[in-house]
Amino acid sequence: MLEGAGLLPLVESVNFHLWQPCNMRCGFCFARFKDVRAEVLPAGHLTAPEALEVVGLLAEAGFKKITFAGGEPFLCPWLSDLLESAHQSGMTTSVVTNGSLVKETASLTGLLDWLVVSIDSLSSQVLLELGRMTAGRPLSENDYRALCEDVTQAGIQLKINTVVTRANRGEDLSSFIIAAGPRRWKILQMLPIAGQNGGANNALSVTDGEFEDFVRRHEWVSRYGIDIVPENNDAMTGSYAMLDPAGRFFDNVNGSYTYSASILKCGVTAALGQVRLDRSKYLARGGRYNWSNPSVPALALGGTD
């Protein structure tokens, strides 16, 4: 699996958390990276040339899909440059966002294949409890509806992520999800990570049973052609190729983050060898699917990422 050798890395998709700063303060967030900012990267992000180099190295290593995450990626002034670079290299592109800064989705057409909107609740009270707000104001249901409609009209594939926590575990989002019409809906059990969201002591965490109840309540939405992809804590552990804002791979196998050296210093293959990544778990949670062809059902190749 040498860069430039024409061989795929251990998994086909990679998540690059390119931007540590965020304009929200979600209490369940597992990607705060305050440790990275304090110990490695004071600005909380690489420079534009460094970030572009990271994207190039990932493409050369054989990754087929890249998801830009944060923090909040739309705070990054050169996000469009990274999307263009990834697209020119042949990678499918995706961005995970809280939705508060996405204003002109049409301008992303041709650069962005997937927009992943984090929607955890439609209740302003719950969103305030979660910390999913900007300047003390959460997005409204109408805000989320308008954003999802704009994404679809721009010809960008829509995916919705929902993190199940103690605050929203009893909520029913079925009607909204059907109306929004995402191609995929990923339902995630809140993942406690020491050093990020307090780990096992986080009061927002839910039991496996509570998570399963939430999933069962919404399974029928799949009748409307929406791929529902639930991921519990075990499914999320050791099954993702992830880079931190400093360009280092990291894993979550021990309940906290273990970091590699930066791929800018040692390359992709060497850095991947310094973390734990299980291809069998990646496949079991449906990490491989036909993300580049929206006319083919995602389940044809299994699941989502």
Q: What are the φ/ψ torsions at residue 148 (nearest 5 degrees)?
A: -60, -40
Residue with tokens 């909107």: 117
Instruction: Report DSSP letters for 24-81, one per residue.
Output: ---TT-S---HHHHHHT-TTSS--HHHHHHHHHHHHHHT--EEEEEES-GGG-TTHHH
The two beta strands, 227-231 and 184-189, are: parallel
Q: Which residues 6+ apart lie within 8 Å of 267 measured at CB?
A: 3, 57
Q: For residues 215 and 187, is the Cβ–Cβ distance under 8 A?
A: yes
Catalytic residue among 26, 76, 148, 266: 26
- Biggest CA–CA distance in the chain, Å, is 52
For the question of residue 76 being annotated catalytic, the response is no
> Which residues 6+ apart lie within 8 Å of 225 measured at CB?
none
Instruction: Kindly state the tokens that stand for 214.
Output: 């939430």
For residue 26, indicate whether it is catalytic: yes
How do strand 242-243 and strand 13-19 relate by DSSP bridges? parallel
- Name, in order, each residue with C-beta under 8 angstroms of 263's C-beta and a sequence gap of 6 or more: 54, 57, 58, 243, 247, 248, 249, 271
Active site residue 148: no
d(CA 144, CA 150): 10
Q: Which residues are catalytic?
A: 22, 26, 29
